[in-house]
C-alpha cells in the first residue's frame, strides 16, 4: 500500500513540470514564462524539505500527518494548474510556492518505511522505493505528454491532479507504527530521505536543537573536503537542470515537432537514468565514487551539446536518453559519497540538505531559463546547460585537488 500511495504521488510530482509548461504554452503561447513558476515550486524545498522530513520523523501520528500533507499537495497542485497562464504571474507564483511547501511529502514518505516493514525486509523495501521513483520519472512526463497530444494539456493536467488525489486517498490505509524505532540502522537510511530522529534535547536547549535540524547537514557538507567538492560541483551543474522541462518543449518545437513531444523527451531522459542507475548498482565503485560523479557530469554535458545539434525528434530523443544514462550513475555515486563520508548520525541530514541545496540551484536555473528563453532559444539554452555541467566538473575537480592526502590504504574519513 505504501508503494501504491507513494508512486501515485510521485507520478503527479514528476508530471507537474511537464503539465505546467504545456498549459502555459497553450494558454499564453509563451512556454518560457513557466520557468518562474517552476522556480517557485522548487525554491521552498530548501527549507520545507528538511523541516517536513524532521517533523514526520517526530510526530506521534505519522499516517495522519502524511495524509494531511498529501491532501494539501493535491489541492495546491490543482490550484496551480488551474490558474497558470490565466491569472497575473505573481498570483500564480503564490500557488506554485504552496506546491513547493507541500510537495516534499512525496520524498519524505520514504522515511516511513522503517515503521511499516520489518528490519529484515528493509533492503527489499528500499529497492522498491528506488523503482517507485524511476517508474514515476518515466510515467509522469510520458502520461502527460501522451494525453496532451491526444486530448489537449488540460486533460494531462487533470491526470496529474487525479494521481495526487488517488495517492492521498490511499494514505489512510497505511499501517504505520506511531513511534519511530531507535536510530540503530544508519546504513539503511534511504537516499534523499528525511533526517533521523535526534536525541531528546535537554530543557533549555530546544532552540539550539531546532537550529541544528537545519544547519547540522550544512556543517558536515562544508567541513568535509570531499563533500564540499561534491556539493559545490553538483550545485553548479544543477543550475542547468531546473529548466529541463522548458528546454525539452522548446527543443521539440525547434526540430518541427509539437510542444507535447517535449514530454516524450523527458520520459526518454528518465528511461536512460533508470538504465544508468541499474548499471551502477550492478558495478558499484564506492572507492572511486567521486570520479564517477566527475565523469557523469562531463558526459552529461557532451550529451546536451549533441542534443543542441539535433535536427530530428528521433536524434533529440536519443540524446536525452544518453544524457539520462550519464546522470543515473552520477546520482548513485553522489549518494554513495554522502554515505561514505558522513558521520552515521548525520547521514539523513546530509542527504536532505544536499538535495535541498541542489534543488535551490535548480530553482534559480528554472527562473533564468524563463528569463533567457526568448533571447537564447532552445539551442542556446542547451549549450548553456552543457557549459554548466562542465563548469560543475571543473569546480569539483579543483576542490578535490585541494584535499589533504590520506595515508596509503585509507579512505577519506568523515572528519576530513
Average of per-residue pLDDT across 315-320: 94
More confident residue, 201 or 18: 18
- Is the pLDDT assigned to residue 187 strictly greater than 70? no
Q: Where are the strands (E) in 113-171, listed by range?
A: none
State the average pLDDT over residues 309-324: 93
For residue 208, how far is the Cα from the chain centroid? 29
**Residue 392 in contact with residue 365, Cβ under 8 Å?**
no
Distance CA 103, CA 45 (A): 8
pLDDT digit string, tens, across residues 15-30? 898 888 888 888 887 7
Contacts of residue 288, Cβ cutoff 8 Å, sequence gap at least 6? none
Nearest alpha-carbon partner for 323 in 308, 311, 337: 308
Summarize the confidence of residues 213-217 as an average pLDDT.
62
CA 384 – CA 156 distance, rounded (Å): 30
Full-model pTM: 0.72
Compute CA distances 14 → 143, 213, 253, 406, whole Å.
Answer: 10, 27, 21, 41
For 140-150, what is the mean pLDDT?
A: 81
CA–CA dist 268, 264 (Å, integer) = 6
For residue 309, the model assigns a pLDDT of 93
pLDDT tens-digit map of 261-315: 888 898 888 888 878 877 776 665 567 788 889 999 999 999 999 999 999 999 9
Phi, psi of 155 (to 5 degrees): -70, -40
Q: Which residues contact 44 (CB under 8 A, 6 or more apart)?
A: 97, 100, 101
- Of 2, 142, 154, which Cα lies nearest the Cα of 70? 2
Q: What is the pLDDT of residue 363?
A: 85
User: Could you give the C-alpha distances from 170 to 8, 66, 156, in angstroms and in order?
Assistant: 9, 11, 21
* CA–CA gap between residue 140 and residue 10 (Å, rounded): 8
Write the pLDDT tens digit of every residue in 146-166: 888 778 889 989 999 999 999
Q: Which of 288, 290, 289, 297 is nearest to 393 (CA)?
A: 297
Q: Which residues, in sequence order, are CB contacts of 99 under 8 Å at separation 6+?
A: 16, 41, 73, 76, 77, 80
Give the residue-averaged pLDDT of 311-325: 93
Q: What is the mean pLDDT of residues 186-211?
A: 45
67 DSSP assignment: H
Query: In which band, very low, low, confident or very high, does the pLDDT at 205 lie, cut at 50, 70 and 90?
Result: very low
Supply the pLDDT for residue 345: 63
DSSP state of 403: S
Which among 383, 370, 22, 401 has a CA at the least distance from the CA of 228? 401
Residue 163: the pLDDT is 94
Mean pLDDT of 32-59: 79
Residue 357, CA atoms < 13 Å, CB-side half-sphere:
22
Average pLDDT, the chain: 80
Contacts of 198 (CB under 8 A, 6+ apart): 209, 212, 213
Three cell numbers, residue 316: 533529440
Dump pLDDT digits (tens) for 324-362.
899 888 887 887 787 788 776 666 667 767 777 888 888
pLDDT at 222 over 60: yes
Average pLDDT (35-51) is 82
Neighbouring residues of 206: CB distance < 8 A, sequence distance ≥ 6: none
Q: How far apart are CA 348 and CA 195, in angstroms?
A: 4
pLDDT above 60 for 255? yes
DSSP per-residue codes, 326-382: HHHHHHHHHHHHHHHHS-GGGHHHHHHHHHHHHHHHHHHHHHHHHHHHHHHHHHHHH
Rounded-to-integer distance, Cα 414 and Cα 416, Å: 6
Count of beta carbons in the 10 Å neighbourhood of residue 399: 17
194 close to 52: Cβ distance less than 8 angstroms: yes
203 pLDDT exceeds 60?
Answer: no
Residue pLDDT, tens place only, 94-138 = 999 999 899 888 877 876 777 777 777 765 666 667 667 777 877
Amino acid at each position: 500500500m505504501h508503494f501504491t500511495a507513494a508512486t501515485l504521488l510521485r507520478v503527479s510530482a514528476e508530471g507537474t513540470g511537464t503539465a505546467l509548461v504545456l498549459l502555459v504554452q497553450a494558454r499564453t503561447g509563451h512556454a518560457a514564462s513557466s520557468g518562474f513558476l517552476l522556480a517557485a515550486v522548487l525554491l521552498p524545498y530548501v527549507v520545507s524539505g528538511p523541516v517536513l522530513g524532521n517533523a514526520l520523523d517526530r510526530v506521534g501520528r505519522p499516517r495522519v500527518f502524511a495524509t494531511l500533507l498529501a491532501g494539501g499537495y493535491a489541492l495546491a497542485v490543482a490550484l496551480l494548474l488551474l490558474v497558470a497562464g490565466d491569472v497575473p504571474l505573481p498570483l500564480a507564483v503564490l500557488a506554485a510556492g504552496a506546491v513547493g511547501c507541500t510537495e516534499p511529502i512525496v520524498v519524505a514518505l520514504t522515511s516511513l518505511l522503517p515503521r511499516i516493514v520489518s528490519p529484515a525486509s528493509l533492503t527489499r523495501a528500499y529497492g522498491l522505493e528506488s523503482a517507485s521513483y524511476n517508474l514515476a520519472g518515466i510515467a509522469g512526463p510520458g502520461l502527460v505528454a501522451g494525453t496532451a497530444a491526444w486530448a489537449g494539456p488540460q486533460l494531462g493536467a487533470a491526470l496529474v491532479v487525479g494521481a495526487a488525489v488517488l495517492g492521498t486517498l490511499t494514505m489512510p490505509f497505511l499501517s504505520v507504527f506511531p513511534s519511530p524505532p531507535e536510530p540503530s540502522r544508519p546504513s539503511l537510511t534511504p537516499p534523499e530521505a528525511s533526517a533521523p530522529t535526534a536525541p531528546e534535547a535537554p530543557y533549555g536547549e530546544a532552540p539550539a536543537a531546532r537550529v541544528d535540524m537545519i544547519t547540522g547537514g550544512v556543517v558536515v557538507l562544508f567541513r568535509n573536503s570531499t563533500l564540499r567538492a561534491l556539493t559545490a560541483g553538483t550545485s553548479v551543474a544543477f543550475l542547468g537542470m531546473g529548466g529541463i522541462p522548458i528546454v525539452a518543449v522548446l527543443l521539440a518545437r525547434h526540430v518541427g515537432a509539437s510542444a507535447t513531444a517535449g514530454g516524450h523527451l523527458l520520459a526518454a531522459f528518465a528511461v536512460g537514468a533508470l538504465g544508468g542507475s541499474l548499471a551502477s548498482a550492478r558495478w558499484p565503485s564506492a572507492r572511486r565514487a567521486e570520479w564517477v560523479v566527475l565523469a557523469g557530469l562531463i558526459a552529461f554535458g557532451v550529451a546536451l551539446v549533441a542534443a543542441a545539434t539535433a535536427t530530428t525528434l528521433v536524434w533529440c530523443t536519443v540524446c536525452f536518453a544518453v544524457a539520462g544514462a550519464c546522470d543515473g550513475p552520477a546520482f548513485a555515486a553522489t549518494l554513495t559519497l554522502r554515505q561514505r563520508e558522513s558521520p552515521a548520525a548525520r547521514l539523513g541530514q546530509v542527504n536532505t540538505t544536499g538535495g535541498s541545496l541542489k534543488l535551490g540551484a535548480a530553482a534559480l536555473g528554472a527562473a533564468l531559463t524563463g528569463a533567457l528563453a526568448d533571447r537564447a532559444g532552445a539551442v542556446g539554452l542547451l549549450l548553456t546547460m552543457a557549459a554548466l555541467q562542465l563548469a560543475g566538473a571543473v569546480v569539483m575537480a579543483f576542490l578535490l585537488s585541494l584535499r589533504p592526502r590520506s595515508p596509503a590504504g585509507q579512505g577519506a574519513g568523515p572528519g576530513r
